[in-house]
Amino acid sequence: MASSPSLLVGPKLAPFTPSGDGVLTHALDLLALSPSDVLFDLGCGDARMLVHAAEQTGARGVGVEYNGDLVKRAQARIEVKWRESGVMDLVDIRHGDALEVDLTTATAMFLYLVPRGIQLLLPKYDGLVRSRDILVDFDAAAVGMNRLEEARRLDVRFVTYMFSIPGWKPTDERTYKGTKVRLFDSLSTYLPLSCSSHCSSKCVHHRDEREKSD
């Protein structure tokens, strides 16, 4: 979420609080976007992250925002920046529920979400995995994190601001005014929270351990 952990789903998940320029700079540095990338921002607020990414890297952006007033602000920002730098064709803002959006074209995601928001979105990563023909064998109790882990293995890069992804060790991180901006990608380590208590020998963690021992 580029501008706040606001309005992920429902009208008042959190207040709208725009991200500082330092956050955007660190996020782009970590994501290392190119014109071939598609950056998703779920709960994009006024779209400042997507516009900044388009201006600096040429990456396409898709923002989803529940709040209609923020959608209008995002569209107004894009129109202004289009006159300055021609980014309008690169950024698409969708007024709707983040839980309903199709993520299959994403190559990178910016997540400024409260912990509950991350948990709510886990099934979306399931759809991302299945749409790319990845077969996962797991216990139902571990379904969320295993599927998110498989999405990571597809080289979908995630940058989180403020809150981390439970059970993952970031590849890299920056600090902005005492708050972490973290990168999770194909090199990130998966650290299961309670793997031994519920999962099968076919879960992602056990598979990684077998690969290390081979």
Name 137's Cβ contacts closer than 8 Å, sequence gap at least 6.
200, 202
Q: Are 93 and 73 in contact (CB under 8 A)?
A: no
pLDDT > 70 in the chain, percent? 63
Give the pLDDT score at 136.
Answer: 37
Whether residue 204 is predicted with pLDDT greater than 50 in this model: the reply is no
The CATH homologous superfamily for domain 21-213 is Vaccinia Virus protein VP39 (3.40.50.150)
Cα–Cα distance measured from residue 14 to residue 19, given in angstroms and rounded to the nearest whole number? 14
pTM: 0.74
Give the pLDDT score at 199.
Answer: 46
Give the pLDDT score at 5.
Answer: 45
For residue 126, give both structure tokens.
Answer: 């399931």
